[in-house]
Amino acid sequence: MKNKKVKGSQILSLVGIIIFTFTLSSCAILNSVKKTDSLFFEAEVLERSRSYDAAIDKYKASLKEFRKSGVLRPLRRHIDKGFPVLVNYRIIRCCSNLAKSLFLEAEKSYQQRDYSGAIEKYKATIKEPEKHGVPLPNISRNYQEIIKKYKATIKEPEKHEVPLPNISSDIPTLTLINFRIANSYSKLAERSDDSEILYTNAIVHAKEAATSKTDDKHKADAHYFWGVLLHKSGKPEQAVLKFSEFVTDFPRSPFVEKALYYMGTFYHEKKKHVLSRRAFDRILNKFPSSSFKHESHYRIAEVLLKEQNYEQAYQEFIESLRSKVYSPDFQEEALYHTAYCLYRLGKYDEARNQYTNFIKRHPKSQYRAGAHFTIGKIYFGDKDYAKALSNYQSALQSTDKESLKTEIHLATAEAHFAIGEVYFGNKNYGKALSNYQSALRNVGKRPLKTKIQLAMAFTYLNQKDAKNAIGTCKRILSIHETDPLTMPTIDPTAEERLTIAKGVQLYLEAENTTFLAGYKGAVAKYNAALTKIQESMSTTIGAEYQADLNYILGDLFYKVERFESAEKQLTMVIENFSDSNFVDDAWYAIGDMNYKLQSYTECRDAFRKILEIFPNSDLRDDAQYFIAKSLLEELDYEGAYLAFDGLTTKTFQKYPDFQDDTRYHAAYCLNLLGRDDIAIRRYENFLEHYPKSPYRVDAYFDLGAIYARQQDYKNARLNYALAMQHTEDQALLSEIQMAIGHAHYNQGAYKNAIMAHTSLVEKYPESDFIIEAKLGIANSHFRMRSWQEAADAYERVVNEHPEATNFIPYCAYQVGEAHYGLATHHSEQDETELAVKNFHEALEWYQKIIDDFQVEDSNNMDEITELLITSFTRMRNDPSVPEELQSLAQIKKGDNYLAIEQYGKALAEYNAFVQMFPNRTKGSSVQDRIKQVQESIISKNLRQEKVRRTVEVSIEQQIAQKALASTVLILTTGATGDPMALGSGFFISNDQIVSNWHVVEGATTAYALSVDEETRYKIDGIIAMNPKQDLVILKVSGEGSPLSLGDNHTAQIGESIYVTGNPKGWTGTFSIGVISSFQMRYAGKRIQITAPVSPGSSGGPVLNDKGEVIGVVYAVHGGPDAQNLNLAIPVNYLKALLKRVGPPIPLSAR
């Protein structure tokens, strides 16, 4: 019973909950319906007030609320299942009204010429319906009041431009709007200075209008308008293509006529006469009443005139003249051209009458001179020379055109000459000469001049005036080269004389060009002259000038660098024409040629011949100078000094320009000979007498170096400063700045040294001396016991220049030493904590050397190792160092020996640690180290036994094998096919070869040959070059074995180097030497090496012990008194050139 009561109460509770829930749900539905009704009402109010955007939002909100309520039966009159349809209809109506409103505003802005505002509103007209997902309404169909209000206000179209389409029920709204926007952009572009973007936008919308769904009429209008916009935007080619499409696709459009006119005009301007004529023909055939009719006739006539179809051209010009409204300019030109056509058709009387009529009707026409000139020629043909001259005179008075004046003068000369001939035939020689002279004044340099002068010569001869007859004949010969067509009819040898004269002219012009602009600008003329002189050598006239022509031929061979042919030819001149005025020139050319080939002994022999045989030669100064230069190149400083000094005597000094050069080099030789006091006096004398010489910078720098060598640092710095004042060359300035810093450092003025080196680092960050400058700063701080600054400076070198492996161990060691010095300083000041910290820092840097740098990383690693041993010993024995660090130093000493595989010494140091620090042995790793060393000693003994049984390959053999596999022989030929030069090169990538610029300079073809002569590589062209540094990178077909590039900054004097090349053509030569010095007397830094090289080695690699390229063989110096004095270009110049590699340029294209 009790259970039944409980169940009854549960049922009642459940019923109550259901009733309560239903009540709440009903209330929610009623509230939602009420809210929906309110939102709908608000939307209707907003719509009536024309707030369409807000009304749309309210309609959407009411629809959203309606869907939220979930009502399935009508609760209000208008809120039922059809409510969404009603709301969507209202939204569409609002969008339509909004579009209408925006379009009306856009039209108003358009009519008021506010094109920017119109564009914005037209675009909004399109975007607003899209924003609400409603299609753009057809405004022209729904709102006829727009048509009534604006149809009459649309402006008339401009000439030759399509009018905008009328608003009518048959044009889609989108098409109409795109038309409006396109035209608005066009109007804005016409007003703007930067119209490109505006026209582009206009074209986009014209294209939209053209490709929209509309009828053919509107499409035709849009396509034509598209073409007009392309024309206006400065794209005539695209415009003519569009007009061509338009004419093809819409042949019935009223704008076809204008499109054809534009096409014809465009083709006429581009001189595409066939296309131009075709367009104008279509205008005439399709539009017989066209406003372009007469201009079309004129344009067609112009084309026919250019085609020399004078008959039809005449007819077209006549047709063009029939227009009563035709442009006066066209009428004037058409009338002139009709006369010209008659003249060319041989209708001279009609032409003369037409020209006369033209002159009367257009007395101020620009064609008046041409009309008078042609009338004169007609009278000349009729032999009425007086009237011909009268018209020629009128023509001259009517024109300023030099070309026409020249023609008139020539015609005048011909008339005077014809009159002279008449008088000559009548034996009236006085009047004949008078007319010949008048003809000569008018003829200028035309071929007729020879004919007139010849007639004058015969006239003088008939007057028995021999002197003038001879003089006139000489003048005829002097103008052979300007009369190649006339003279052969008078003199059978004229062509021979012309060839000789032309060859000599080109030769002399080339010599002048070389003097003014350098050899490269004259190469073409030298080659042309060579061709002409070679032609003339076998002629009859050539035999008369054999000595001179043979010298010129030899000199030309030399100038185009065909040295073998040049020497043969010049030697023949010397031997066979000893009395020629050109023998000393021949010796000079031979000497200069051998100087360029670095055959200095033969060079001096040739120049000494000039000094011995020709005491009055103008070439004596040059000969002595090159003798001195060749001795200097061979490093015979004593001989070079005597030769340069000889140039300062009265025997020479013919050319003052030589004196500053020779006096400087005399002082320079004394400097190299170590005769400091005499060199100083010579330098000072040179600077006093030649304060503006280009060598003054070198003189000041050399003086500074001498004073620094003498430890007179004040004068050294003074001269370095003067050198800096007279140059802007960045590389030289950085070198001078480095020298100033060294002078301060060597003097002990460390603060000044720091300032000088810091200035170099800041001003010349790309300098070759940047690492040395930073080391100078660090060393100066170290010397000043500025321990922290020194440590920081050394550490910067380590961090900023990891490639300088030769400096890194030293700098790392010096960082440790600086910290040790700082620790000692703190210890003396009883600053124990700071002392211990810096002792630790020192040990860490010492350890860094052991851990990070192996013996092969640096040439001075052995020295660093010894210094480390000394430093560890010092730290172990220093009483100011805590015992913990002393013991650690002892272990590091053993570690150092272990790192360099000196196991016996390492074991001794570890055992010493056990004895000296027994309390620290326990728990340390020293016992493990002792065990490791013992095992290493056993292993090493085993390896040594194995090595004794193995054939050892030396490092030299390894480098030779690697380098020779990469080295090639380069052979070049010139334009004539003769061999020019040979040199060496090496691969830096599979298809890139490096060599010297002078090896390929002037060549037109070249190829590379492997040193085993089994592989030939075609050279495709130059991909990078630096003539100043004498470097070139060549692209080749095929693959080679590349060498890796090292760093010349790490190279040291005394370091072993290896060179491969092809001296004198002997392929695959391997030589060994050392770096003997670094020179700065050239275009940049140079490495001086002792490895034997010879001509033919140029371009070969210079390698270090790692087999890395550190330089490129550059210059060979040798002789009886100087051997193994050769130079290489540092590899860092090559690395810089690699950054400028581009596409290959053929050798023949340079």
Strand segments, DSSP code E, in 1037-1099 are: 1056-1061, 1069-1079, 1086-1089
| CA nearest to 1136, candidates 1087, 1078, 1079, 1085 | 1085
- The band of 93, judged by pLDDT with boundaries at 50, 70 and 90, is confident
Burial of 4 (0-12, 13-18, 19+ CB in 10 A): exposed
Report how far residue 354's alpha carbon sits from residue 337's, in angstroms, rounded to the nearest whole number: 10
- The band of 834, judged by pLDDT with boundaries at 50, 70 and 90, is confident
3-class secondary-structure state, position 518 = coil
Neighbour-count burial for 263-295, b at 16+ CB within 10 Å, e otherwise: bbbbbbeeeebebbbbbbbbbbeebeebebbbb
User: pLDDT for 876-928, tens place per residue?
Assistant: 888 888 887 888 888 777 887 777 777 777 778 878 877 787 776 655 677 77
Report how far residue 265's alpha carbon sits from residue 259's, in angstroms, rounded to the nearest whole number: 10
Dihedral over alpha carbons 114, 120, 124, 127 (to 10 degrees): 150
Residue 1059 pairs in a beta bridge with 1071, 1102
Q: Do domains 406-489 and 785-948 have the same CATH topology?
A: yes
Distances in Å between the alpha carbon of 132 and those of 48, 453, 958? 19, 96, 82
What per-residue confidence (pLDDT) applies to 945? 47
Report how far residue 957's alpha carbon sits from residue 1076's, in angstroms, rounded to the nearest whole number: 23
User: What's this model's pTM, rounded to 2 decimal places?
Assistant: 0.44
Contacts of 479 (CB under 8 A, 6+ apart): 445, 449, 450, 453
| CA nearest to 1039, candidates 1023, 1025, 1018 | 1018
Report how far residue 752's alpha carbon sits from residue 823's, in angstroms, rounded to the nearest whole number: 26
Distances in Å between the alpha carbon of 432 and those of 138, 421, 456, 476, 640? 93, 7, 8, 19, 70
What per-residue confidence (pLDDT) applies to 475? 60
What per-residue confidence (pLDDT) applies to 967? 95
Count of CB atoms situated within 10 Å of the CB of 3: 7
3-state per-residue secondary structure call for 912-954: HHHHHCHHHHCCCCHHHHHHHHHHHHHHHHHHHHHHHCCCCCC
3-class secondary-structure state, position 656 = coil
Asked if residue 595 has pLDDT above 70, the reply is yes
Say yes or no: domain 785-948 is CATH 1.10.10.
Answer: no
**Token pair 């001189």 is at which residue?**
271
- The band of 990, judged by pLDDT with boundaries at 50, 70 and 90, is very high
User: pLDDT for 1088-1133, tens place per residue?
Assistant: 898 888 888 999 999 998 899 999 998 766 544 445 578 899 998 8
Determine what percent of the chain falls in helix, strand and coil, rounding each to the nearest 5: 65, 10, 25
| CA nearest to 1016, candidates 1070, 975, 1060, 971 | 971
| CA nearest to 360, candidates 384, 332, 386 | 332
User: pLDDT for 1022-1072, tens place per residue?
Assistant: 998 888 788 999 999 989 999 999 987 778 888 889 999 988 778 889 999
| CA nearest to 820, candidates 883, 773, 772, 889 | 889
Q: Give the N- to C-terminal CA distance of the chain in Å, as an integer.
A: 122
Report how far residue 1090's alpha carbon sits from residue 200's, in angstroms, rounded to the nearest whole number: 70
Report how far residue 771's alpha carbon sits from residue 1132's, in angstroms, rounded to the nearest whole number: 14
Query: Which strand (E) or helix (H) includes residue 1032?
Result: strand 1031-1036
Share of the chain above pLDDT 70, in %: 77
Q: What mean pLDDT comes out for the span 1007-1029?
A: 88
Report how far residue 309's alpha carbon sits from residue 963's, in angstroms, rounded to the nearest whole number: 74
Q: Position 865: which residue type?
A: T
In this predicted model, which residue has the larger pLDDT, 744 or 41? 744
* Structure token pair of residue 825: 């300083």
What per-residue confidence (pLDDT) applies to 1109? 95
Ramachandran assignment for 384, one of left (phi > 0), alpha (psi -120 to 50 degrees), beta (any other)? beta
| CA nearest to 1046, candidates 1131, 961, 956, 955 | 1131
Ranges of each domain in the chain: 29-143, 406-489, 785-948, 955-1149
Distances in Å between the alpha carbon of 354 and those of 298, 308, 351? 18, 19, 5
CATH T-level topology, domain 406-489: 1.25.40
Contact (Cβ atoms closer than 8 angstroms) between residue 1104 and residue 1051: yes
What per-residue confidence (pLDDT) applies to 178? 80
Neighbour-count burial for 425-460, b at 16+ CB within 10 Å, e otherwise: eeeebeebbebbebbbebbeebebbbbbbbbbbebb
Burial of 870 (0-12, 13-18, 19+ CB in 10 A): exposed
3-class secondary-structure state, position 1052 = coil
Contact (Cβ atoms closer than 8 angstroms) between residue 305 and residue 337: yes
Determine which of 110-114, 500-504, 839-843, 1054-1058 has the lowest per-residue pLDDT on average: 500-504
Nearest-Å Rg of the Cα atoms of the chain is: 49
User: pLDDT for 623-655, tens place per residue?
Assistant: 888 898 889 887 788 998 898 888 777 666 555
Report how far residue 993's alpha carbon sits from residue 1042's, in angstroms, rounded to the nearest whole number: 9
- The band of 367, judged by pLDDT with boundaries at 50, 70 and 90, is confident
User: pLDDT for 281-338, tens place per residue?
Assistant: 787 778 877 777 777 777 787 788 788 888 887 877 777 777 654 556 667 788 888 8
955-1149 CATH, one of 2.60.120.330, 3.40.50.740, 3.40.50.2300, 2.40.10.120: 2.40.10.120
What per-residue confidence (pLDDT) applies to 169? 46
3-class secondary-structure state, position 1074 = strand
- The per-residue pLDDT of the chain, averaged, comes to 78
Report how far residue 687's alpha carbon sits from residue 709's, in angstroms, rounded to the nearest whole number: 20
What per-residue confidence (pLDDT) applies to 921? 62
3-class secondary-structure state, position 463 = coil
DSSP labels for 946-972? HHHTSPPPPHHHHHHHHHHHHEEEEEE
User: pLDDT for 393-431, tens place per residue?
Assistant: 888 888 888 888 888 888 888 888 888 878 866 768 788
